[in-house]
């Protein structure tokens, strides 16, 4: 995978598989601390203690369709290759938190990529799940919470064609703003 | 969030929902979103599907995702389920995805060259 946002999409699939109905995604970029931190928290069924230490092992998986489990191990590798690390904590019956730390300026750190597409696909493709997205870049921040979106929509489903356009637009606007800041040379 | 725009969307969508209360079967499109699917480009395929549906204003199609079904080498896999049954498309690109919306979902033609046939 060539973007951190694809890894995020992949890790969230684990949360969905674990029957989570609330998923929080937090991204923090801080060049002063030279850090990029991604946190994914869910309220799914969690990982049993005895398997937690093997979560990043590519040759361990709880699935039955194939014999390898690559999601967490690929993210682990992406973090380590850029001077960072991966932390997985979980409590059975309560949920799981995956945190990936990256050295922001590291030459081998993958770009975040099209996080707007990742989030739009997740939100619209899983209308039964509540997503809370929080992205901080230096002093700037963006939040998107499907709970408040649902309240405003008053019964209109999240996968209504008008709502689909709206979700894409909101994330695109935030990404465009970030890119213009980047070009302005602040980062 | 742009609340003014949301308000407009709510009113528009409500009107349309009232108009299509009667007897419309919902079609489903399912995108394989396992690690293998994502690595092969499933996110951009799904985004293209959603974008095309939204642009064409189609509201009787539900796009969802599923995990790995074990046919990793044929990903991205897109399954279309409608009143006639189920068709699975393999190695789908974002352009193919738009074609699936236009050809299969709107016009009702199965796109023979894209159909997934496991060897």
How distant is the Cα of A74 from the closest Cα of chain B, in angstroms? 9
CB A40 within 8 A of CB A11: yes
Q: Between A10, A66, A124, which is nearest B50 by CB?
A: A124
The token pair at A48 is 């049993």
How distant is the Cα of A105 from the closest Cα of chain B, in angstroms? 25
> What does DSSP say about strands B61-66 and B27-32: parallel, antiparallel, or unpaired?
parallel
pLDDT digit string, tens, across residues A143-179: 999 999 999 998 888 888 899 999 999 999 999 988 8
CATH code for the domain of A131: 3.30.565
Pick from A8, A10, A11, A177 the residue to mutate for testing the B interface (most B CBs within 10 Å). Answer: A10
CATH topology classification for B24-114: Glutaredoxin (3.40.30)
Number of Cβ pairs < 8 A linking chain A and chain B: 106
Q: What is the DSSP string of B51-96?
A: HHHHHHT--SEEEEEE---S-GGGPSPEEEEETTEEEEE-S--HHH
pLDDT digit string, tens, across residues B7-64: 888 888 888 877 765 546 689 999 999 999 999 999 999 999 999 999 998 888 999 9
A94 vs A20: CA distance, rounded Å: 10
Partner-chain contact A126 B50, CB within 8 Å: no
Q: What is the pLDDT, as a whole number, of residue A66?
A: 61
Please check the confidence at residue A17 and state whether its pLDDT lies above 60. Answer: yes
How would residue A65 be classed by pLDDT, with cut points 50, 70 and 90? low
Nearest to B47 by CA among B35, B29, B60: B29
Nearest to B46 by CA among A5, A8, A121: A121
The model's pTM: 0.90
Question: How much of chain B, in percent, has pLDDT values that exceed 90?
Answer: 67
For residue B32, the cross-strand partners are B66
Please check the confidence at residue A187 and state whether its pLDDT lies above 80. Answer: no
Domain count, chain A: 1
For residue A41, the cross-strand partners are A24, A97
Closest-CA residue in chain B for A73? B35
φ, ψ for residue A148, nearest 5 deg: -70, -30
Question: How much of chain A, in percent, has pLDDT values that exceed 70?
Answer: 92
Give this complex's ipTM. Answer: 0.88
Query: The domain containing residue A104 runs over which residues?
Result: 4-183
- The mean of the pLDDT values for chain A is 90
Q: What is the pLDDT, as a whole number, of residue B23?
A: 47
Residues in chain B whose beta carbon is closer than 8 A to a beta carbon of chain A? 1-3, 5-7, 9-10, 12-14, 17, 31, 33-35, 38-39, 43-44, 46-47, 50-51, 53-59, 62-65, 67-70, 72
Pick from A162, A165, A166, A172 the residue to mutate for testing the B interface (most B CBs within 10 Å). Answer: A162
Please check the confidence at residue A125 and state whether its pLDDT lies above 90. Answer: yes
Please check the confidence at residue A74 and state whether its pLDDT lies above 70. Answer: yes
How would residue A69 be classed by pLDDT, with cut points 50, 70 and 90? low
Partner-chain contact A162 B13, CB within 8 Å: yes
Full strand arrangement of the beta sheet holding B61-66:
B61-66, B27-32, B78-82, B85-89
């Amino acid at each position: 995978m060539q973007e951190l946002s694809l890894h995020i999409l992949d890790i969230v699939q684990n949360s969905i598989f674990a029957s989570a109905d609330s998923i929080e995604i937090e991204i923090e970029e801080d060049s002063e601390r030279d850090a990029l931190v991604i946190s994914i928290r869910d309220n799914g069924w969690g990982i049993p203690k005895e398997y937690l230490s093997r979560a990043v092992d590519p040759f361990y998986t709880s699935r039955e369709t194939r014999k390898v489990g690559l999601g967490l191990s690929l993210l682990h590798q992406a973090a380590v290759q850029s001077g960072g690390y991966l932390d997985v904590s979980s409590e059975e019956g309560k949920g799981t938190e995956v945190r990936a730390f990256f050295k922001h300026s590291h030459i081998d750190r993958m770009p975040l990529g099209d996080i707007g597409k990742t989030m739009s696909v997740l939100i619209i493709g899983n209308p039964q799940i509540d997503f809370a997205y929080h992205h901080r870049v230096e002093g700037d921040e963006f939040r998107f919470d499907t709970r408040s979106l649902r309240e405003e929509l008053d019964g209109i489903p999240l996968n209504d064609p008008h709502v689909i356009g709206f979700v894409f637009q909101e994330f695109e606007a935030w990404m465009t703003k970030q890119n213009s800041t980047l070009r302005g040379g602040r980062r | 969030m742009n609340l003014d725009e949301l308000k407009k969307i709510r009113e528009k969508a409500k009107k349309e929902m009232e108009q299509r209360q009667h007897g419309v079967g919902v079609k489903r499109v399912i995108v394989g979103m396992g690690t293998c699917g994502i690595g092969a480009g499933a996110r951009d395929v799904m985004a293209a599907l959603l974008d095309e549906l939204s642009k064409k204003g189609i509201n009787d199609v539900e796009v969802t995702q599923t995990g790995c079904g074990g046919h990793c080498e044929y990903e991205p896999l897109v399954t279309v389920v409608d009143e006639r049954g189920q068709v699975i498309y393999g190695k789908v690109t974002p352009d193919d995805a738009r074609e699936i919306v236009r050809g299969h979902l709107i016009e009702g033609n199965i796109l023979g060259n894209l159909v997934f046939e496991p060897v």
